[in-house]
A = this chain, B = another copy of it.
Amino acid sequence: MQFATVTTEGGGRSAAVLDGSDWRALPAPDLSALLATTALRDAAGLAGEVLAGAEPTLPLPAPGKVICCGLNYADHIAETGRELPRHPTLFPKYADTLVGPADDLELREGLQVDWEVELAVVVGATLREADRDAALAAIAGYSVANDISVRDWQYRTIAWFQGKAWDRSTPVGPVVVTPDELDPFAGVEVICRVNGEEVQRASTKTLVFDAADLLAYISTFTTLRPGDLVLTGTPGGVGIARDPQRFLEDGDVVETEIPGIGVLRNTVRLAPARHTPVHP
């Protein structure tokens, strides 16, 4: 099954489930609100009228937690010059960080803006100190994300967070596909293109820590809840690891794809900074 938060002809917004080629309304304004009360496996039975002119937008506009894993594909780890990790490297984003599948990426001139295609895992149940089986059972579905990274800020200090949590920088969507329809454990491809040129392609089969590992590990220290997102890391091919390095420029179009889920197509918009930051 495929779920989305869609905009409709009348300018409204609704959680929705795909029925053939139609999006049918679900009784919530978006998937964040739906997941707070209803498991996706039960939601399809609530489907209402067909929504005219439905267009998928950011599926989860209000996750309580967005936790990302870095250094999780062997080839990307190699291009950063590191060894295979014993533990996942984790950092967070905010709901503010996210934008929809066709939204502009709104950043500032002069930043080193880089791409990172990732499989996003949607949490479907409350998890704390979960074992792997419980974590696996708590996966509501999968989506596509691009963990757009501001490299100069990421590496200003040892904490990546300030390069990873720029408002309106990380596209997610276009839909959430349930585990019965997509099996990243067996392997799905994650692909990124910049202005039509393929820059990343890998299979989730080569993840060091898979989706269930990550949910269980995170739940050791903090509670995950329905609608939370876990981003599973990016493979090789990022701009900062190229020779010469390549960063995104104003007007660049970033396409982020996982076959079976869909494509994000976002344009980079680099506006002038409002003023010189306190510590430039």
Q: Which residues of B have CB within 8 Å of A131?
A: 275, 278
Contact between chains at A275 and B153 (CB < 8 Å): no
Cα-based distance from A85 to B132 in the complex (angstroms): 40
Q: Which of A149-190 contact B (CB under 8 A)?
A: 150, 153, 156-162, 165-167
Q: Which residue of B lies closest to A70 (CB)?
A: B159
Contact between chains at B216 and A88 (CB < 8 Å): no
* Given known A166-B222, A222-B166, contact A159–B279 (CB-CB < 8 A): no
Count contacts on A: residues with CB < 8 A to the other chain.
46
Choose one: B159, B223, B277; the contact of A90 (CB below 8 Å): B159
Contact between chains at B275 and A157 (CB < 8 Å): no
Contact between chains at A167 and B94 (CB < 8 Å): no
Does A220 sit at the interface, judged by CB under 8 A? yes
Contact between chains at B165 and A279 (CB < 8 Å): no
Interface string of A248-280 (1 = CB under 8 A from B): 000000000000000000000000011101110
Q: Which residues of B have CB within 8 Å of A162?
A: 87, 90, 218, 221
Contact between chains at B277 and A217 (CB < 8 Å): yes
Contact between chains at A89 and B159 (CB < 8 Å): yes
